[in-house]
Every structure is written in C-alpha cells, then in structure tokens.
Amino acid sequence: MAFPQTRMRRLRATAGLRGLVRETDLCAGQLALPLFVAEAGSSGDGSGRQPIATMPGVDRLSLAAAVEEAREAAALGVAAVLLFGVPATKDREGSGAWEEDGIVQLAVRAIKRAEPELLVITDVCLCEYTDHGHCGVLREDGAVDNDATLELLGRAAVSHARAGADLIAPSDMMDGRIGRIRSVLDKRRFIHTRIMAYSAKYASGYYGPFRDAVGSAANLGKSNKFTYQMDPANSDEALWEVGLDLQEGADMVMVKPGMPYLDIVRRVKDEFKAPTFVYQVSGEYAMLKAGGMNGWINEKTCAMEALLAFKRAGADGILTYYALDAAQWIKEG
C-alpha cells in the first residue's frame, strides 16, 4: 500500500503549527466602528441609547454616548469610528449635512477632544438628512440631479473637515463627486483631509437595517437607488469606478457590501494595489446576530470567520458593527 509523501495535515496538528504557517491575520487596528449619532429630538429625548430593533446590540447614540463608545473603541485598539448623523428634522436638500452645529460636526469635535489619536471618519451623503431618503437632490421628475448634488456634498465635506474629521467618506455614488470634494477641500486648505471613497457601492438588499437606523427607510418608500448605485451583476464596472475615484483624488477605496462581494475586493486590490477597505453592512451583521441569538450558529466563530475572509480577499481594513466585539475577542486570544 502506497502512503502519501506529502501530508498537508502535518502543519495543522497543533495550534502553534497552525499559527506558524497562517497566511492571514486580523488585528483591532484594522477595524473601524460605525456609530449612529442622534440629534436631540430624533430619538426620544436625545439622551443615552436607543436600541435599533433590526440591529441587535447597536444603538442610536446621544453625543455623550457616542463619546463613550469612541473611548471604548480606542481602549481596545480599534483604529477608527465612522459617524452617521440622525437629525431631528429633514428637508428636501438635506441641509443638516453641512450645518456647522450639525450632529456629526458636534460629534467629530467631541470625539477628537476626548480621543485625539482615534481616527474619525465621516460619512458624506445626503440620505440621512433628506425627507425623501435619496442620496441627492431630486429634480421635478423625481430623478436624482447628479451635478446639483455635487455642490451640496462639497459643502458637507468642508464642514466635516473644519470640525476636525480625519477622513471624509463619500457614499452617495454621484459621478464626479470625489474630484469635486477634493477640489473644494484643497481650495479651503484642507489638503491633508483624506478621502475614503465608497467606490464600488452596490444597489444591495443588505442595507435594510441601516435605513431603519437613520430613519430613511420610510422616506424612501417604494423608491430605489438603482440609477446611481451599482448593479450587483457587474464586476468590471467596479474596477472602472475605482479607477475613476483614484484619478479624481481618493486616498483609499471601499467595496460595499462585504461578504457577497469578496471577488470584487480581490479584483480591486490586485488591479490597483491602493488601500482597499470593505464594509460589513447592516444586513450582514443582522443575519449573523439573528443566527447567533437563535442558536443556529456560533456567532463569535462565524463573525470572526467573516472578518478574516475580508482580509484574505485583500482588504486592508474593515468597517464593521462587530468592531468592539472582535477587538475584545482578539485580545482574549
């Protein structure tokens, strides 16, 4: 009887051996934690924490609670927080996005005072602030006006930079918005404010819980974002989008959602070699949570496996609602 000369199991025999030949590592410094910061009047009395039903374990936060969460992230070695605003009132233009005393602008200042070394990323989009739930200005026929939206995104970006944001993250998917934002930031001397572009953002069904969190689901109604977010069937188009954003001045790029688009992450990293991030979105998080809460899966094992898969696919960093839990699990070994 012939025995195998090469035995792959030899290097799997002990934890030490497995660690010695491990190809992919995950650390807290590669994670960013999204936070929903609620303006007074938008969630009860605006204080403390208001649970988001479709995202167990994630809350809408008051300013003080957001600072508390940021402190916890910093203590665990998490690299950054990503801020989303939940305003008390909304309008057609989404003017709350660029108000100097808007909830995100206030949160940036408060967090940078409390944790100067923690990176603060701000989402630049209008959907949290518009009364129709779309990411841009609407024309009379109901279509999103790309070029009119660019001016407003520029205003929002400048207000975030002025507040002290380390990175600006445009998530709207308007054509030309990276170039416009880079130009406006540079013109106002914010030359060191980085742009993390949501470059390959797909029109995905995985965003539902997020829209509940920021209150845009009801406003959006039966409308959709297919005319500006990417078709899930397309792969080459993602490279086209990423290439354009890098040409226009993006410092890093993002693929969103995460797990269903690992092939896109790999292609982007291989093609451009640029800092590449992935967003484990609300629907991905909610499914893992539901599976764990119902005893269908081991939540910790599956969550960490998913995060490791992003790294294996080529992501340099991961935006995830699991950032605090994952950082703690990593710390515990």
Q: Which pLDDT tens digit goes with each residue over 300-327? A: 999 999 999 999 999 999 999 999 999 9
Q: What long-range pairs does 235-242 form, CB within 8 A, spacing at least 24? A: 235/263, 235/264, 235/267, 238/199, 238/200, 238/264, 238/267, 238/268, 239/267, 239/268, 239/271, 239/272, 241/199, 241/200, 242/199, 242/200, 242/268, 242/271, 242/272, 242/274
Query: How much is the mean pLDDT over the chain?
Result: 94
User: Mean per-residue pLDDT for 44-62?
Assistant: 85
pTM: 0.94
Q: Are 129 and 97 in contact (CB under 8 A)?
A: yes
- CA–CA distances in Å: residue 199 to residues 86, 173, 195: 23, 7, 11
Residue 45 has pLDDT above 60, yes or no: no
User: Mean per-residue pLDDT for 53-62?
Assistant: 95
pLDDT of residue 26: 96
By three-state DSSP, how is residue 303 classified? helix
Catalytic annotation, residues? 201, 256
- The type of residue at 144 is V
pLDDT of residue 275: 98
pLDDT of residue 131: 86
User: Mean per-residue pLDDT for 45-71?
Assistant: 90
CA–CA dist 225, 251 (Å, integer): 26
Token couple for 275: 């800092």
CA–CA dist 156, 266 (Å, integer): 31
pLDDT of residue 1: 76
User: Mean per-residue pLDDT for 18-30?
Assistant: 95
pLDDT, one tens digit per residue, over 152-187 is 999 999 999 999 999 999 999 999 999 999 999 999
- The type of residue at 82 is L
pLDDT of residue 243: 98
pLDDT, one tens digit per residue, over 199-229 is 999 999 999 888 888 876 566 666 788 899 9
The domain segmentation of the chain, as residue ranges, is 26-332
- CA–CA distances in Å: residue 58 to residues 11, 61, 265, 266, 320: 39, 9, 26, 29, 11
pLDDT of residue 15: 92
pLDDT of residue 217: 59
Task: Name the phi and psi angles at 85, rounded to 5.
Answer: -95, 140
User: DSSP alpha helices (H): ranges in 22-145?
Assistant: 63-75, 103-114
pLDDT of residue 42: 55
pLDDT of residue 47: 52
Residue 43 has pLDDT above 80, yes or no: no
pLDDT of residue 282: 95
Lowest mean pLDDT, pick from 99-103, 236-240, 241-245: 99-103
* CA end-to-end distance (rounded Å), the chain: 42
- Residues with Cβ < 8 Å from 264, sequence gap 6 or more? 200, 235, 238, 255
CA–CA dist 125, 85 (Å, integer): 10
Q: Which of 259, 251, 244, 232 is nearest to 322 (CA)?
A: 259
pLDDT, one tens digit per residue, over 89-129 is 888 888 889 999 999 999 999 999 999 999 999 999 998 89
Token couple for 308: 């490791």
What is the torsion angle, in degrees rounded to the nearest 10, for the CA atoms of residue 191, residue 194, residue 199 and residue 203?
Answer: -120
- The type of residue at 148 is A
Decide yes or no: CATH 3.50.50.60 for domain 26-332.
Answer: no
By three-state DSSP, how is residue 277 classified? strand
pLDDT, one tens digit per residue, over 248-281 is 999 999 999 999 999 999 999 999 999 999 999 9
Dihedral sign for Cα atoms in the order 258, 259, 262, 263: negative
274: left (phi over 0), alpha (psi -120 to 50) or beta: beta
Exposure class string for 68-105: b at 16+ Cβ within 10 A, else e: ebbebbbebebbbbbbbbbbeebeebbbbbbbeebbbb
By three-state DSSP, how is residue 67 classified? helix
CA–CA dist 80, 21 (Å, integer): 29
Residue 62 has pLDDT above 60, yes or no: yes
Residue 22 has pLDDT above 80, yes or no: yes
